[in-house]
């Protein structure tokens, strides 16, 4: 049958099983939005800003495992997606961003709201398409979803010229293209098994790749069979129940995780890229240890840490192949030593106690979303996430302002009350999305760590800049409760530890029953620090457990 390009687009994303799109209309996508209206089969969430739409698509993708989709118009609409696309790229989140552009006759003439968005996004997408011919549109959209969701997942951009949206061509429905599973090389698997069998004190570092590959069950089987303790990176949080892990590894990881890495004779790295926040001093991190590195992306092998043995494959496939070859070992003395240490940092401040209480009181299945900074690390340390795909954070790019948009996407994706942990600095960047959450009846509990400073930057100024607090004090005098109410949400404050239980119970009950965001203004000290901490480019034996305020 013959259809206009805009209708072909909508039909193609329906082929992919898309039921929700986040976006913001404009002149260059009017035909797409008209087709969306006429179809009536896709839930569109109108955000307050295109960046919010990209983050919402990201959050939706993380919790569902599906590819998130966002729409934006040309020019500034498209460029407003860039930070969200880059965030998804750094964390390997599958996303398809669809933008409009000027017509073919106007392309390259500096026309109104024209931008080369493909050129802009080359470094931050797996691939991108500019569609100039309607006959190429369906194939481009189908390829975009295949690329976004296969291999190491990530964002793909499809830029559709205005004339393509109105031109007609033949359209035939097709089933989604099947993903090719990247199976491991048997020889590499055999070498990895041999290295693991020879180890006396192995430790597993589980990264975000475990969750992306849906390999949590295989990870658990491996750890039990070989008698190895498990730590996780920030992106790997939720890969296993917290009680079965040593906690997070890295700059702000637990003492138990740090000591296990120090004392191990073999590191089994699963779906992690050994970022500077994990490896810290790259030359000394794995000195004298065997490193068995399994990852789907060959570019990550030996990039930061040199491996002794590596396997390039889909992680689930690799672990399935590895499990029969590794010996069953108790390693009881090693396990007892590793797990006898505290798996969580001490809760030393009001903000940390609020987060720990929220972990206990939140409804089952609620996704946890964070912005970036001190509160992000407190959430990683004190909020228990016991299932995969219930934790969303910007780990690679470290995007302040990520949280609220992502929380909307995560709450919609799970159908549960979202828990957002944010700071007053981050919240100020995209708080306009509170309008979106309120207008769309999205249940959220927003724990706003209101310390009136840019906390993490200020903490670094304390340690490395002799307490010269240059532009990290927020002199805004914002009444966040009135702000929340003015945007259609509800607000309540926590000023003392005795308030925590009652306020949180009210917040969760109200959000769930009234389908509304509830902002909890947590008025905490400007000097509440994130500890433990290992200084950049340092080693795990230099972990700071305390510091002067």
Say how many C-beta atoms besides its own lie within 10 A of residue 349's C-beta. 21
Domain contains 402: yes
Cα separation, 236 vs 240, whole angstroms: 9
50 assigned to active site: yes
Integer-rounded Cα Rg, in Å, for the chain is 24
Q: Where in 240-399 does DSSP place strands (E)?
A: 266-270, 290-295, 309-312, 368-370, 391-392
**In a structure prediction context, what are the per-residue pLDDT tens digits for the chain, which is 549 residues long?**
999 999 999 999 999 999 999 999 999 999 999 999 999 999 999 999 999 999 999 999 999 999 999 999 999 999 999 999 999 999 999 999 999 999 999 899 989 999 999 999 999 999 999 999 999 999 999 999 999 999 999 999 999 999 999 999 999 999 998 888 899 999 999 999 999 999 999 999 999 999 999 999 999 999 999 999 999 999 999 999 999 999 999 999 999 999 999 999 999 999 999 999 999 999 999 999 999 999 999 999 999 999 999 999 999 999 999 999 999 999 999 999 999 987 666 678 999 999 999 999 999 999 999 999 999 999 999 999 999 999 999 999 999 999 999 999 999 999 999 999 999 999 999 999 999 999 999 999 999 999 999 999 999 999 999 999 999 999 899 999 999 999 999 999 999 999 999 999 999 999 999 999 999 999 999 999 999 999 999 999 999 887 766
Say how many C-beta atoms besides its own lie within 10 A of residue 493's C-beta. 17
Domain contains 542: no
Beta partners for residue 15, in sequence order = none
Tell me, what's the pLDDT at 417?
98
Cα separation, 271 vs 301, whole angstroms: 10
Cα separation, 412 vs 433, whole angstroms: 14
Say how many C-beta atoms besides its own lie within 10 A of residue 440's C-beta. 16
440 assigned to active site: no
Domain contains 539: no
Catalytic residue chosen out of the listed positions 15, 106, 113, 225: 113
Same domain, 364 and 243: no
* Domain count along the chain: 3
Same domain, 112 and 228: no
Cα separation, 507 vs 318, whole angstroms: 43
Domain contains 528: no
Tell me, what's the pLDDT at 180?
84
Beta partners for residue 169, in sequence order = 3
Q: What are phi and psi of 128, to 5 degrees?
A: -145, 160
Terminal C-alpha separation, the chain: 70
Same domain, 66 and 208: no
Query: What does the H/E/C string look like for 213-265?
Result: CCCHHHHHHHHHHHCCCEEECHHHCCCCCHHHCCCECCCCCCHHHHHHHHHCC
456 assigned to active site: yes
Domain boundary among 136, 170, 204: 170
CATH number at residue 76: 3.40.50.970
Domain contains 383: yes
Domain contains 299: yes
Cα separation, 527 vs 530, whole angstroms: 10
377 assigned to active site: no
Same domain, 160 and 192: no
Cα separation, 218 vs 318, whole angstroms: 9
429 assigned to active site: no
Domain contains 536: no
Tell me, what's the pLDDT at 348?
80
Same domain, 444 and 485: yes
Burial 46-76 (b: 16+ CB within 10 A, else e): ebbbbbbbbbbbbbbbbbbebbbbbbbbbbe
Q: Supply the DSSP symbol for 176.
A: P
Contacts of 523 (CB under 8 A, 6+ apart): 450, 493, 494, 495
Cα separation, 290 vs 33, whole angstroms: 55
Same domain, 432 and 380: yes
CB distance 423 to 523 below 8 Å:
no
Same domain, 445 and 396: yes
Catalytic residue chosen out of the listed positions 22, 50, 285, 461: 50
Cis before residue 298, ω within 30 degrees of 0?
no
Catalytic residue chosen out of the listed positions 4, 66, 126, 162: 162
Domain boundary among 170, 200, 223: 170
Tell me, what's the pLDDT at 545?
80
CB distance 220 to 306 below 8 Å:
no
Catalytic residue chosen out of the listed positions 456, 508, 533, 543: 456
Same domain, 161 and 24: yes
Tell me, what's the pLDDT at 154?
98
- The H or E element that residue 404 is part of is helix 402-414
Residue count of the chain, please give it.
549
Same domain, 136 and 37: yes
CATH number at residue 283: 3.40.50.1220
Domain contains 441: yes
Q: What are phi and psi of 145, to 5 degrees?
A: -70, -35
Q: What SS3 state is found at 113?
A: coil
Instruction: Print the domain residue range for 199.
Output: 186-339
Same domain, 412 and 517: yes
The two beta strands, 517-523 and 490-494, are: parallel
Same domain, 358 and 494: yes
Q: Supply the DSSP symbol for 465.
A: S
Same domain, 242 and 378: no
């Amino acid at each position: 049958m013959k259809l206009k390009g805009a209708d072909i687009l909508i039909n193609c994303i329906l082929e992919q099983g898309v039921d929700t799109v986040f976006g913001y209309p404009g002149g260059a996508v009017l035909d797409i939005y008209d087709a969306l209206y006429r179809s009536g089969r896709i839930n569109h969430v109108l955000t307050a800003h295109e960046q919010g739409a990209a983050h919402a698509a990201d959050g939706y993708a993380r919790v569902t495992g599906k590819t998130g989709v966002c729409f934006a118009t040309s020019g500034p609409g498209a460029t407003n997606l860039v930070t969200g696309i880059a965030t998804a790229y750094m964390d390997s989140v599958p996303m398809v961003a669809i933008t409009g552009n000027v017509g073919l006759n106007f392309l390259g003439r500096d026309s109104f709201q024209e931008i080369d968005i493909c050129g802009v996004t080359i470094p931050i997408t797996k691939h991108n398409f500019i569609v100039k011919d309607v006959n190429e549109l369906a194939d481009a959209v189908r390829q975009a979803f295949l690329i976004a969701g296969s291999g190491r997942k990530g964002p793909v951009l499809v830029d559709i010229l205005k004339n393509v949206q109105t031109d007609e061509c033949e359209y035939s429905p097709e089933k989604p293209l099947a993903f090719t599973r990247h199976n491991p090389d048997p020889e590499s698997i055999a070498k990895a098994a041999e290295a693991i069998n020879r180890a006396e004190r192995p430790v597993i570092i589980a990264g975000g790749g475990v969750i992306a590959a849906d390999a949590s069950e295989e990870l658990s089987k491996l750890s039990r069979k070989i008698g190895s303790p498990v730590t996780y990176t920030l992106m790997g949080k939720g890969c296993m129940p917290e009680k079965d892990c040593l906690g997070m590894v890295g700059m702000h990881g637990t003492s138990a995780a740090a000591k296990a890495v120090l004392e191990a004779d073999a590191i089994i790295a699963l779906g992690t890229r050994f970022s500077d926040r994990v490896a810290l001093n790259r030359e000394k991190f794995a000195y004298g240890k065997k490193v068995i590195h399994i990852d789907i992306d060959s570019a990550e092998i030996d990039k930061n840490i040199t491996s002794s043995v590596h396997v390039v494959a889909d992680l689930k496939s690799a672990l399935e192949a590895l499990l029969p070859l590794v010996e069953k070992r108790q390693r009881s003395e090693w396990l007892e030593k590793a797990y006898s240490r505290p798996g969580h940092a001490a809760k030393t401040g009001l903000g940390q106690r609020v987060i720990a209480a929220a972990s206990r009181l939140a409804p089952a299945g609620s996704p946890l979303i964070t912005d970036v900074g001190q509160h992000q690390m407190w959430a990683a340390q004190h909020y228990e996430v016991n299932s995969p795909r219930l934790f969303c954070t910007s780990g690679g790019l470290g995007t302040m302002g990520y949280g609220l948009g992502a929380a909307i996407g995560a709450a919609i994706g799970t159908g549960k009350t979202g828990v957002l942990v944010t700071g007053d600095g981050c919240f100020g960047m995209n708080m306009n999305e509170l309008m979106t959450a309120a207008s769309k009846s999205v249940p959220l509990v927003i724990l706003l760590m209101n310390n009136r400073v840019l906390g993490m930057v200020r903490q670094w100024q304390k340690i490395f800049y002799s307490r010269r607090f240059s532009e990290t004090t927020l002199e805004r005098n914002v009444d966040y409760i009135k702000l929340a109410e003015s945007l259609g949400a509800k607000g309540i404050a926590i000023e003392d530890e005795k308030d925590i239980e009652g306020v949180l119970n009210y917040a969760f009950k109200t959000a769930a029953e009234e389908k509304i965001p509830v902002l909890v203004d947590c008025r905490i000290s400007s000097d509440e620090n994130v500890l433990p901490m290992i200084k950049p480019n340092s080693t795990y034996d230099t972990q700071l457990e305390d510091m002067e305020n």
